Chains A and B, each alone.
Chain A
Amino acid sequence: LPGHSKYFKRFPVLTDSPSATSKAAFFVEVLLKFLEYAQQKKNYMRMKFMKGFLLGLANRTAVLGVVYIALAILLMVYGFINKEQHCAAKSFGTLKKKMSDKYQVLLPAALGLLTGLNLCPPFLLAFAAAAANDSLWNCIPFFSAFFIGTSVYLTPLLAIGPFRRHDFLKPIGRLAVGIMGVYYIYFGFVTIQRSIHS
C-alpha cells in the first residue's frame, strides 16, 4: 500500500510475512491517522457527541454490561447451538505433527518464548514498572515474580493430556460454557441495572 513503508522504521516487525506486515502497518497507519484526526478536533462535534454518550452511561459500567451480554450470547451459541467444531489451531496441529518427531523440545520452547514476548497488558504493566525502577538488578526478581505469577494460569494445561482421551468431556465442556453464558447474561443485566441506579 502506498505510503505505509515509513511505519516500518517506527515499529518492529510483528508478523511473519510481508503481506501480513503490510496489513499490520496499514492498520496502525489508519489507527494513528484517526487518533491524530480526533486530537486535532477536526470532527469536534462528533467527538463531543461520543464523549457525552459514553459519560452519560453512568461511568461506562452499562457498556460493560452490554458487552457481557453480547459475549454471553456468543458463549451460548457456541455451547448450545453451534454443531461444527471450529478449531483455531488446525494448521498448528499439522505443524506440531511435522515437528514433533525431530524437534520435541523446540516447539514448546518457541511457543514459550513467543508467549513470553507477547505484548499483553500485564506484560506491558510489568515492563513499565521495571522501566520505572532505577536498578537493572531489581528488575530481574520483578520479572521472575511476574513469570511465576502468570505461569500459575498455565497449570490447567497439564490436564489437556489425560482429558483429551475422553471424548465425552467435549460435549460436557461445551454445554458448561453455554450454562456460563446464561449466567453472564444475568450478570450483564445486573451490571446495567446497577449502573442505571448508581
Chain B
Amino acid sequence: VTNSGRNEKYTNRNPVKAIILALPMFLIMALMITGGSGLPKDPLQLTAMIMAYILINGIFYLMILSMKTDKYRSLLFVIYAVCFVITFISNLVEVRGSMIVTQEDMVQGRTPFCHMVIPMVIVPAVLTRTIIFPGSMLEGFAAIGTMLVLWLGASIVLGRGWCSWACFYGGLDEGFSRIARKPIIKNINRKWTYLPFAILLVIVLTSAATLSPTYCAWLCPFKAVTEFEEISSSTILLQTIIFFSLFIGLVIVLPILTKRRIQCGLFCPMGAFQSLTNKFNIFEVRIDPEKCAQCNLCVKTCPTFSLDEESVKSGKSRITCTKCGKCIDSCPKQAVSFHIKGTPLGVNFETARLIFIYPAFLFLAVMGSGMITGAIYRALLLVKTGSMMK
C-alpha cells in the first residue's frame, strides 16, 4: 500500500512495522490498566488484568496489521458491552443486593450516572443550577463529574465516534446485528432516521418542563440490563414493561432482523445529540467520487443509516455517522476513507485512519479495560468459588 493508498488493494502490513506502530498503544495501555499504581496483589485480579491487557492490545495489533478497522473494533466493542453488563450488575448486586434502585438510593444520590442523561440535564442545569439526576457529583461508581469529563473529551476527539468507540451500550445491539448472515427486513423508510432527533426534542423539553430525566424514567431500553426502580406502583410496573419491551425489540429482535444497529440508529436520543458534535469534530468519513463505482454497498452495510444515495453523490456521510469504519472496510474500490477536515481528499488515507484510530481505540480501551478486567475477574471468581460475588 502506498502512502496515498489510491487504487491499491488492502494487504496486511509488515508485522514488524505493525508492532512498531502499535507499541505506543501497548505502553499507554500498560499505564492505564494498572492505573499507575502497580500490579494488584490478588492473583485472580492480576490474572484478569493480564488477560484483559493481552486481549485489548492483541485486537489493536490486528487492527494495525490487517488495516481493517471495523472488524476488530466491533469485536472489542461487543466484548466491552457484554463485560459492562456483567461488571455493572455484579457491582450492583454486591453493593445493593439486587439490580433494583430504591427511593432511598435515589435520595442518597447513589444512582450511577450514564451519558444518556446528558442531553436532559443541560437546560435544567442552566435554568436552575441543579443536575436533575439522583447521582453523586464526584463520589462513587460512575459519578456525574467523571462521566461528563469523559463524554466531553470523547466528543471533542471523536464527535459521534463516541457511539462506536466509547458507548458501553452500543456493543449490545451491534452484537445482535451481526448474528444473522443476511437481513430479513431490508427496506426501512428513511423518515425513521429522524426519530432519534424527535425523541431528543421531546425529552429535552419534557425534562426541562418537569425537571426530571424523562428518558431514564420512561424510555431507556438499557434499564433492562442495568438497574430499574422497585416496582411499587402501576406506573413503575408500566415503566418496567416499557424498558424490557424496548430492549427486546430495539436491541435484540430488530438488529437481528435488519442487521443494523436499530437502537443506535433509529431510537437513541443521545446518539442524535452526539451527532451535533460531528459538526466541529475534525474527523469524518468521505467518499472519493473518482473511485466510487456507485455500487451502494456502503449504503447497504452502514449500521446506523448514515449513508444514502444522496450522501454518496455528495461524497460525505450524514451527520449521524459513528465512524465505525464498516463502510470503509466493505468498499471494494477503497473509495471510502477516514478523512481529516481541511486536508486534500484521497491522499494519505491510511495516515488519516491511523491518526483517527489511535485516540478512538484509546477511548475504547481505557473505558473497556476496567469493564473487561472486572468481567474476567468475576468469571474467574465463579470458577474458583462458585459465586461471582466476593
Residues of A bordering B, CB below 8 Å? 168, 171-176, 178-180, 183
Task: Establish whether residues A172 and B202, one from each chain, have CB atoms under 8 Å apart when the complex forms.
Answer: no
What 8 pairs between A and B have smallest CB-CB spacing? A175-B198, A176-B198, A171-B194, A172-B197, A176-B201, A179-B202, A172-B194, A172-B198
* A171→B197 CA distance, assembly (Å): 9
Residues of chain A with a CB closer than 8 A to B201's CB? 172-173, 176
Is the C-beta of B195 less than 8 angstroms from some C-beta in chain A? Answer: yes
* A79→B129 CA distance, assembly (Å): 34
Do most interface residues of chain B lie in helix, strand or loop, or is the interface mixed?
helix
Residues of chain A with a CB closer than 8 A to B202's CB? 176, 179-180, 183
**Closest chain A residue, CB of each to CB of B194:** A171
Task: Tell me the minimal C-beta distance from A67 to chain B in angstroms.
Answer: 21
Q: Which of B193-233 contact A (CB under 8 A)?
A: 194-195, 197-199, 201-202, 206
Is the C-beta of B390 less than 8 angstroms from some C-beta in chain A? Answer: no
Task: Establish whether residues A179 and B199, one from each chain, have CB atoms under 8 Å apart when the complex forms.
Answer: yes
Task: Tell me the minimal C-beta distance from A195 to chain B in angstroms.
Answer: 16
Q: Which of B158-192 contact A (CB under 8 A)?
A: 191
* A178→B201 CA distance, assembly (Å): 12
* 28 A-B pairs whose Cβ atoms sit less than 8 Å apart in the complex: A168-B194, A168-B197, A171-B191, A171-B194, A171-B198, A172-B194, A172-B197, A172-B198, A172-B201, A173-B198, A173-B201, A174-B198, A175-B191, A175-B194, A175-B195, A175-B197, A175-B198, A176-B198, A176-B199, A176-B201, A176-B202, A178-B198, A179-B198, A179-B199, A179-B202, A180-B202, A183-B202, A183-B206
**Closest chain B residue, CB of each to CB of A170:** B194
**Closest chain B residue, CB of each to CB of A174:** B198
Total cross-chain contacts (CB, 8 A): 28
Do most interface residues of chain A lie in helix, strand or loop, or is the interface mixed?
helix
* A178→B194 CA distance, assembly (Å): 12
Among A168, A173, A179, A180, the most chain B Cβ lie within 10 Å of the Cβ of A179
* A61→B202 CA distance, assembly (Å): 26
* A171→B191 CA distance, assembly (Å): 7
* A10→B181 CA distance, assembly (Å): 76
Residues of chain B with a CB closer than 8 A to A183's CB? 202, 206
**Closest chain A residue, CB of each to CB of B219:** A179
**Closest chain A residue, CB of each to CB of B272:** A172
Residues of chain B with a CB closer than 8 A to A174's CB? 198
* A174→B195 CA distance, assembly (Å): 9
Residues of chain A with a CB closer than 8 A to B206's CB? 183
Task: Tell me the minimal C-beta distance from A126 to chain B in angstroms.
Answer: 26
Task: Tell me the minimal C-beta distance from B176 to chain A in angstroms.
Answer: 24
Residues of chain B with a CB closer than 8 A to A178's CB? 198
* A139→B131 CA distance, assembly (Å): 44
**Closest chain B residue, CB of each to CB of A190:** B235
Residues of chain A with a CB closer than 8 A to B199's CB? 176, 179
* A23→B204 CA distance, assembly (Å): 45
Residues of chain A with a CB closer than 8 A to B194's CB? 168, 171-172, 175
* A176→B198 CA distance, assembly (Å): 5
Task: Tell me the minimal C-beta distance from A166 to chain B in angstroms.
Answer: 11
Q: A175-B194, A179-B199, A183-B202 are in contact. List 9 more A-B contacts (CB 8 A).
A: A168-B197, A171-B194, A172-B201, A173-B201, A175-B191, A175-B197, A175-B198, A176-B198, A176-B201
Residues of chain B with a CB closer than 8 A to A173's CB? 198, 201
Task: Tell me the minimal C-beta distance from B306 to chain A in angstroms.
Answer: 14
Residues of chain B with a CB closer than 8 A to A172's CB? 194, 197-198, 201
* A178→B197 CA distance, assembly (Å): 13
Task: Tell me the minimal C-beta distance from A174 to chain B in angstroms.
Answer: 8
Task: Tell me the minimal C-beta distance from A76 to chain B in angstroms.
Answer: 12
Task: Tell me the minimal C-beta distance from A8 to chain B in angstroms.
Answer: 47
Q: Which of B224-278 contact A (CB under 8 A)?
A: none
* A179→B202 CA distance, assembly (Å): 8
Residues of chain B with a CB closer than 8 A to A171's CB? 191, 194, 198
Residue-wise, chain B 346-384 has the 8 Å CB interface mask toward A (1 for contact) of: 000000000000000000000000000000000000000
* A8→B197 CA distance, assembly (Å): 52
* A168→B201 CA distance, assembly (Å): 13
Task: Tell me the minimal C-beta distance from B232 to chain A in angstroms.
Answer: 17
